[in-house]
Chains A and B, each alone.
Chain A
Amino acid sequence: MIHNKPLIFGALVTVLLTILAAFLPEHRSELITRMLIMALFATSINMQVGRAGMMPLGQAQFFGLGAYAFGLLCVKGGLPLSYSFLLALLISLVAIAIIGYLCLRGDSLTFALLHLAFNILLVTVAAKWISLTEGDQGFTKVPRLDLFPGNFGFYLFVLLVVLGCYILIWMIVNSPFGKVMQGLRENEERIRFLGIYSKRFQLVIFVFSSLFAAVAGILWAMMQKSVFITYMSLILSAEGLMMCLIGGMSSFFGPSIGAAIVVVVSTLASTYLEQWQGLLGLIIIVCVLGFRGGILGGKRGTMGL
């Protein structure tokens, strides 16, 4: 029974969002598309943070990697959309596997710092390799994959992809494999004593989680019809972690709610006042000091990160 509650919740939210997206004016319905993509990004981070107790400080690098790979393939490479989508995923997968293998060689602090270091490296490449990436300018004219026509059609497409990813993530974290992950979070040493090679499990979860971030990046590039250096920025990495914290890291849907809040706050605040990141900073300080469990957190103490 416990397992049914989040599923019902997810289904209800999906229906509600679709109704909203169908009837809201265009610039508001795009807000919902943004929420969905960011929710996927935050959930991908939480696969590592909340479930496996790892600290990915630079998750935006894979978000940006997906976006850049997709954008470059179809804008500069002139490949058809579906091919670029798949090829972008493949490129991301290779990069993720290499980076993941290297990141996981040390202890958890080394993992966090290496993750950050690779983010710095990739963002420098994106900023300085101007002949390929246009540097700080970014490039536009990224096409959308039009399964269905119009803006609502694009929303439906995003919804389908995000739902598919959510179901996959749900299956992963609730499989026996997911249980090992939780064990790793609680007590890595003990899991090793059980004869489980912990690094391999962490690598697998790393690859899945980063791949979902890359999918979110590709969708984001389609939505914005452009690719900018900010997609890969360390600030986005930080924001992703903040989304997890605000919503609650110990629950499945917490990060999505956090993402929705951050998207709404940033959109509303940027129309009325300029300082939305300061507002986010304030929310974070309150969350860290006041309720570390986040909105869906419930009781603290079960998360020995």
Chain B
Amino acid sequence: MAPAQLLCQFIVGIGGGMILFLMAAGVSIIVSGMNIINFVQGAFFMLGALMCYSLSQVLNFWWALLFGPLAVACIGFGAEFLLRPLYKKTMLYQLLITMGLAFLIIDGMDAIWGREIKVVALPNYLNTTTPILGLDFPMYYVFIVAASGLMAAGLWLMFEKTRLGMIFRAIISNRSMVDCLGINVKLLFSIMFAFGVWLSGIAGVLMAPIIGIDPEGSMDILFAMMTVLVIGGLKSMKGAFFAALLVGVINAFGSMFLPWFYALIPAALMIIVLLIKPQGLFGEKEG
């Protein structure tokens, strides 16, 4: 195996991992803020991809990249109102309602966009290949890595440097205290949820040109994301980042070199992490 091919496969893996990271980061924000594991995230990913499909036909890909996730975030903002009565209830009800929502959205997408698998055309200059060590490499993967890398950096900056990020962090560590300080926590929960969903929408739009868009696949993506989230630690964004890169690279190389059982590695890793360090590789013990 030539080193160039290895490098290409590596970049493909990083790209796939970064997409998983964007979704997992969204869920991680929602879990740490409001203690709800959002099982709708996979459906929102597909919704983003479908928005990209429709918008790129009317406008172009770049506008789709801007408006697609925003539209998804608006729907997420609305969906959060359904969750409000459940914040203090047991996790079972929260899980069930997010699953119910996911079913509803998946079938809604089927009804609106139809069942056939859709493909999004790329803008020409992204549809080229770039030579890497003498091997033609699809430009779009480089774009995905760059775009989601920027997003990850932006996320970090937002959490560390902006006022909104500061309030988010405050809510995560002590919700009632923030409430006492006169900040509208209810509204911020909606914003937080919409923000997490927005990240998923971006992941969907970015992936739209290289996957066949099929709402029925939402759940598979959701559970791929769940493995990443658990390996890294439910509430740790840093953990999700490294776990996502790890899983992405394993998937990329595994599909090349290993027989079928490479597909078991993420799930097996998830089990091992849960058995040895249930709070995740980068999670911290609570309490």
Q: Mark B76-96, 1 if CB is under 8 A from A, else 0.
A: 000000100110011111011
| A contact residues around B86 at 8 Å (CB) | 288
Contact between B106 and A277, CB atoms less than 8 A apart = yes
Interface residues on B, range: 35 or more
| Contact of B230 with A by CB under 8 A | yes
Q: Mark B99-127, 1 if CB is under 8 A from A, else 0.
A: 11111111110110001000000000000
Alpha-carbon distance between A279 and B103 when the two chains are bound, in angstroms: 8
Alpha-carbon distance between A292 and B115 when the two chains are bound, in angstroms: 33
- Of chain A, the residue at the smallest CB distance from B109 is A278
Alpha-carbon distance between A279 and B106 when the two chains are bound, in angstroms: 11
Alpha-carbon distance between A279 and B99 when the two chains are bound, in angstroms: 12
Contact between B82 and A281, CB atoms less than 8 A apart = no
Contact between A55 and B96, CB atoms less than 8 A apart = no
| A contact residues around B93 at 8 Å (CB) | 245, 288, 292
Contact between A277 and B97, CB atoms less than 8 A apart = no
| Contact of A285 with B by CB under 8 A | yes
| Contact of B278 with A by CB under 8 A | yes
- Of chain B, the residue at the smallest CB distance from A241 is B96
- Of chain A, the residue at the smallest CB distance from B265 is A124
Contact between B271 and A121, CB atoms less than 8 A apart = yes
Alpha-carbon distance between A124 and B108 when the two chains are bound, in angstroms: 27
| A contact residues around B202 at 8 Å (CB) | none
Q: Which of A234, A238, A245, A289 contacts B85 (CB 8 A)?
A: A289
Q: Which of B85, B91, B92, B103 contacts A277 (CB 8 A)?
A: B103
| Contact of B257 with A by CB under 8 A | no
Interface of A, secondary structure class, is helix
| Contact of A305 with B by CB under 8 A | yes
A71: min CB distance to chain B, Å:
20
- Of chain A, the residue at the smallest CB distance from B115 is A274
Q: Given that A117-B271, A278-B107 are known contacts, is A242 also in contact with B96, CB under 8 Å in the complex?
A: yes
- Of chain A, the residue at the smallest CB distance from B84 is A289
Q: Which of B219, B230, B267 contacts A124 (CB 8 A)?
A: B267
| A contact residues around B178 at 8 Å (CB) | none
Residues of B within 8 A of A (CB): 82, 85-86, 89-93, 95-97, 99-108, 110-111, 115, 219, 223, 226-227, 230, 260-261, 263-264, 267-268, 270-271, 274-275, 278
Q: A114-B274, A127-B263 are in contact. List 11 more A-B contacts (CB 8 A).
A: A113-B230, A114-B271, A121-B268, A121-B271, A125-B264, A238-B99, A274-B115, A280-B103, A281-B105, A284-B103, A288-B96
Closest 3 pairs between A and B when the two form their complex, measured CB to CB:
A278-B107, A281-B103, A284-B100
